[in-house]
Structure 1
């Protein structure tokens, strides 16, 4: 059986966003869909019957959350399974399930406090992004445009192991959808690149050199992608704001960060802020090497 796409739901208002994106991802990748809800495990320090009654109540609540998910996914076909996981936290439970099933990806919705049409990584998403063994996707609150309708896959690209891992997964998805790829690199604005003591001439020279370097790496990255139409764009400005404002991609892939153990998502500065603010779904990809 193909590796599944896991969607974590908690009954909150962002559950439908996660289910919509997860269903699209699973169908695109020809993967089974697993909808999971995590409830607290019995405490080793619990007080016997009181603890057992409380856990039973939480289990009933979890069943109700899955019933909501079944209603949202009604008519989706038979390749959907529903799981209740007992764990110390939602993130821990989803991590364990991902390892158990060798999951393709974990999908969660934005945090409860997130504004509409913007990502806001709640505690579950942020904990998932700290050490996940597979890519983690965060769907924005109340997506105005469903995934698969815009016809472009985006990649926040820098020529690092993380950037190349994100490009590889994005290219795989693009090949499945027939969508073109666009690679984005952001160069900081002039006044943000170097200390003012360096001087404007040196600063402009630095920016010109940086742009040439980025153009070369982007061109090579596009050439490395086979079977998929791809182009690139360099943007000027704040890296998080520039990427978060993208509204013409079905999904934006990015690396986690440039260090840490291989095959683990470790949330870096840009990706951490990006998942809180992006207008489109963001997939944070662990390094493959």
Structure 2
């Protein structure tokens, strides 16, 4: 198992309605992991090709807005935290650079303003962060109805790949800190999604039974690989994204990014990207291990 990160949890705020959700999730994560909390608001940096006075006035206005967002965050979150205003070409770029600089354990952002209540919906900042982040990235659902830490279970969307194992290792560290069980979930796609071309009904059933047995064995091995944690596991049938998105009895759901791309970088695949647009609980996307 990889060594736990000792850097801070970084929460990105913008003064929008989702900032409170991100603060709640980030504050819980920092307290649970025993690391500092850094709350950051990013404003536009001066453009190299900007037009002098207009550019300076606009930059000044954006900085004031960022400082206002931090003031609102201070009022919402009374626990100790460091607050930073950052100038960068984009919110995602600023948070990404700060995470690299501080060796962050986690970056947390809220859902887009268009998210349905109690659902995640990764906005443009989250999507850009997830395209190459060096640390896990968490997205809080809009209006998070159940505060993190109250359900007593850490979820893992598990597949037996480097991505899945990285997600499990990261989730296990949090489970140890919270003294709560892990819940590993693998979803076997519906027959019409999993059936090879021109395969008959009987052969399809045998194919799915074999797939289920393979997944069950992988889950047993995965559960046994985290001896300091109680690990439950379950194989579900149905649409992969929908089944995972409807999980509502876990404090947070960990998933991998995808099985290729640069090591130790988040790089979204099809399932993780779609899951971030509809999950009921906070989702943490973990970089693939080296």
Into which bin does the TM-score normalised by the smaller protein fall? over 0.9
Partner of 1:33: 37
Kindly provide the CA deviation profile for residues 156-215 of structure 1, in whole angstroms up to 9, marking residues without a partner as x: 000000000000000000000001001000001223221562110110111011011001
TM-score (norm 1): 0.97
Partner of 2:279: 278
C-alpha distance in structure 1 between counterparts of 2:129 and 2:254, whole Å: 16
Tell me the secondary structure at the aligned position of residue 210 of structure 2. helix
Counterpart check, 1:19 vs 2:23:
yes
Tell me the secondary structure at the aligned position of residue 276 of structure 2. helix
Partner of 1:169: 170
C-alpha distance in structure 2 between counterparts of 1:60 and 1:82, whole Å: 14
Partner of 2:261: 260
Kindly provide the CA deviation profile for residues 35-63 of structure 1, in whole angstroms up to 9, marking residues without a partner as x: 00110000111111221121111111111
C-alpha distance in structure 1 between counterparts of 2:216 and 2:55, whole Å: 60
- Picking from 43, 46, 58, the partner of 1:42 is 46
**Runs of 5+ unmatched residues, structure 1:** none
Tell me the secondary structure at the aligned position of residue 66 of structure 2. helix
Partner of 1:150: 151
TM-score (norm 2): 0.97
C-alpha distance in structure 2 between counterparts of 1:55 and 1:125, whole Å: 23
C-alpha distance in structure 2 between counterparts of 1:47 and 1:216, whole Å: 63
Partner of 1:102: 103
C-alpha distance in structure 2 between counterparts of 1:229 and 1:222, whole Å: 8
For residues 242-257 of structure 1, what are the structure 2 equivalents within 5 Å?
242-257=243-258
Partner of 2:64: 60
C-alpha distance in structure 2 between counterparts of 1:136 and 1:92, whole Å: 14
| Residue 288 of structure 1: how far off its partner (Å) | 1.8
| Residue 250 of structure 1: how far off its partner (Å) | 0.1
Tell me the secondary structure at the aligned position of residue 276 of structure 1. coil
C-alpha distance in structure 2 between counterparts of 1:240 and 1:196, whole Å: 22
C-alpha distance in structure 2 between counterparts of 1:121 and 1:68, whole Å: 22
| Structure 1 residue runs of 4 or more that deviate by more than 2 Å after TM superposition | none
**Runs of 5+ unmatched residues, structure 2:** none
Partner of 1:227: 228
| Residue 264 of structure 1: how far off its partner (Å) | 0.1
